[in-house]
Structure 1
């Protein structure tokens, strides 16, 4: 199976490293020439529970260098989904499947508009990673589950084949007949910590020491659960505390959410696809979401301040 990972950031590299070590032809696609060149020249440095090692990976900046893949795993930032997929159509052949493992909701619809809904699969992963520098990641794969499935909930051989490959490579993966519920489950975890740590700049350890922030997180999760129930989504969780606990399970107290990592790099966040999706679903279904709306507004404010500062520096 030839696999292309569209978006070789921390998470894409963590998954790509495991698949490469599992002897599957795996390509890491990144827009960063420095990142790709480092991986090509020195390999990908992976720091994890086993120590530090370098893995000889296949890396590229252009889809044309890769050619048609059997599976394209989409892991670009949510707001880059449309442009990234349209720029990577060289990966798509008659039988190619496109699997989104991105945070939040809505990517499957964007991808379906580009490549056709019949070839789009959805999934969620609890695998973690931090990009330490070009060609260097900290990986959190061990014991972290990934769920994939057909959008219509059917159990098909094509999804099972991908799960078999993932499992053989050490990525604990299950096929779900309720992938929309699974995606909402992961959304609850992202809602629990992402925006709050982005606003406060706190690590997981710091966040979980602050009772007032826990109360805010539980309120945001509760709004999301109410919206999900109103939409007829079947969740595996029945209490906001479950998402709050799951969000930090197995992670170092020093670990930072992807939203905080984005803000620290001066990048825009995926807030529109996480807390923002809760707000949109709430508006559609008549479910109040004031906590999530406030978190979205605060993160948007931080993004605006960063953009203004960057413009000042560019013109100085």
Structure 2
């Protein structure tokens, strides 16, 4: 079976490497330096003092003539629609496509171009940083993910995809309520990622300070409040679970990709994460003072980066 991975950031490189190591046929849609380097260099997964070289990944910059059995969209959130549009031209209509982005809007964005029921969404837990055009550094354990169908399809409809992921060593769980799972992950990433970006501090520092720890907790509650008005079924136990992940589930040096991008002057997922909550809260009349402040503080920085990136 062939898997097309669209996007050669940290997650795209990681999935490409692990799937290839499992014997899957892997096509990686990349661009620029990654494509050029792939002619003479392998992908590498770095961890501690080790470096695993991975061969067998076909790295391309055009989908012309490409055919695949399934696909993983590993772009930033704002690039999902473009990826889905390109994939719609090269995938069979029944081919499952997995979104992997933090946030809640990626499945809908992909659904603008792909068939109803073809899109599967996931929450992905792995700390991987792209440190070179073909190099990804893994910090901590291998990936675990929860996946499901926004259209209500059964697990068997994604069998080709889940089998490949499991073969690649991904701890994969199916849920019949992927919307709730996406919102739980959303609450986690918006809160610790947003507060961390504003104060430029990793998780270990924000949870060690009672003031920033309180801001993260308050931001989580704001996301849960917006979700409730949107009709998402989340429980107090869900909140406790998300909070506990922040308090004890991350290495102290952990930062979110949004935090890293914002502070490095790169386009970030601010709009797709904090902005997505703030815009919904304004429309629904739900107070979100912590997230409003984070958004107001970081949006000008994001706007300047976007202007430079044009």
Same fold by TM-score greater than 0.5: yes
Alpha carbons 1:14, 1:128 under 8 Å: kept: no
Which residue number in structure 1 is paired with residue 30 of structure 2? 30
* Matching residue of 1:54: 53
Counterparts of 1:86-165 in structure 2, within 5 Å, are 86-140=85-139, 142=141, 144-165=143-164
Give the aligned partner of residue 167 of structure 1: 166
- Mean CA deviation greater in 299-308 or 127-136: 299-308
Query: Once the 2 structures are TM-superposed, how far is the Cα of residue 22 of structure 1 from its aligned partner?
Result: 0.8
8 A Cα contact 2:226 2:286, kept in partner: yes
Contact 1:19 1:169 in 2 (8 A): yes
Deviation at 1:137, TM superposition (A): 1.0
Q: Structure 1 residue runs of 4+, over 6 Å off?
A: none
* Contact in 2 for aligned 1:199/1:302 (Cα 8 Å): no
In terms of mean alpha carbon deviation, does 160-169 or 171-180 score higher?
160-169
Query: Secondary structure, in 3 states, of the residue corresponding to 2:8?
Result: coil
1:20 and 2:20 correspond: yes
5+ unaligned residues in a row in structure 1: which ranges? none
Q: TM-score, normalised by structure 1?
A: 0.88
Residue 242 of structure 1 is matched in structure 2 by 241
Q: Is the 8 A contact 2:93 2:115 kept in 1?
A: no
**Residue 73 (structure 2) pairs with residue 74 (structure 1):** yes
Q: Distance in 2 between matches of 1:156 and 1:112?
A: 18
Given the alignment of the two structures, is residue 8 of structure 1 paired with residue 8 of structure 2, yes or no?
A: yes
User: In angstroms, what is the RMSD of aligned CA positions?
Assistant: 2.5
| Shift in CA distance, 26/281, structure 1 to aligned 2, threshold 3 Å | same
Matched, 1:179 2:178: yes
Secondary structure in 1 matching 2:251? coil
Q: Which residue of 1 is the match for residue 213 of structure 2?
A: 214
DSSP-derived class of the 2:148 partner = strand
Q: 1:307 to 1:191 in 2, by over 3 A?
A: closer
How far residue 241 of structure 1 moved from its aligned partner, in angstroms, is 5.1
Under a length normalisation based on structure 2, what TM-score does the superposition of the two structures give?
Answer: 0.90
Following TM superposition, by how much is the alpha carbon of 1:72 offset from its aligned partner in structure 2, in angstroms? 1.5
More displaced stretch, 105-114 vs 198-207: 198-207
> 2: distance between equivalents of 1:113 and 1:81?
10
Aligned partner of residue 63 in structure 1, secondary structure: coil
CA distance in 1, matches of 2:13, 2:250: 18
Decide which moves more: 290-299 or 219-228: 290-299
1:307 Cα deviation after fit: 5.4
Structure 2 SS opposite 1:118: coil
Deviation at 1:51, TM superposition (A): 2.5
Distance 1:137 1:251, change over 3 A: farther
Question: What is the aligned residue count?
Answer: 309
CA contact 1:208–1:214 (8 Å) conserved in 2: yes
Cα separation, partners in 2 of 1:49 and 1:201, compared to 1, 3 Å:
same
Gapped regions of structure 2 (runs ≥ 5): none
Contact 1:189 1:247 in 2 (8 A): yes
Report if aligned partners of 1:11, 1:129 keep a CA contact under 8 Å in 2.
Answer: yes
Aligned to 1:45: 44
Are 1:159 and 1:175, in contact at CA under 8 Å, matched by a contact in 2? no
- Within 2, Cα distance between the matches of 1:97 and 1:245? 33
2:225 maps to 226
Offset at residue 62 of structure 1 (A)? 1.6
